[in-house]
Amino acid sequence: MESISLSRFSGPLPLLQSILIVAPYILSLIALTIICFAVSYIVFMRQEIRSL
């Protein structure tokens, strides 16, 4: 059992395969950032701005 788990991690992944594994997480972080910014911007623009 231990030899099977050690053989899976025998060497580093190729760059393309690493990018394919990480890409969905990076895209979801970027999408979440854009969504949060858009919601904050809409809330800010709907507020009534009062001068002092």
pLDDT tens by residue, 5-48: 666 677 888 999 999 999 999 999 999 999 999 999 999 999 87
In a domain, 40, yes or no: yes
Q: How confident is the model at residue 51 (pLDDT cuts 50, 70, 90)?
A: low
Whole domain around residue 48: which residue ranges?
A: 12-52
Q: How many domains does the chain have?
A: 1
Q: Residue 2 falls within a domain, yes or no?
A: no
For position 25, what pLDDT does the model report?
98
Q: Between the CA atoms of 22, 27, 30 and 36, what dihedral angle is there, to the nearest 10 degrees?
A: -120
Residue 21, in any domain of the structure = yes
For 13, 17, 27, 47, 48, the CA distances from 41, given in Å and listed in that order, are: 40, 37, 21, 10, 13
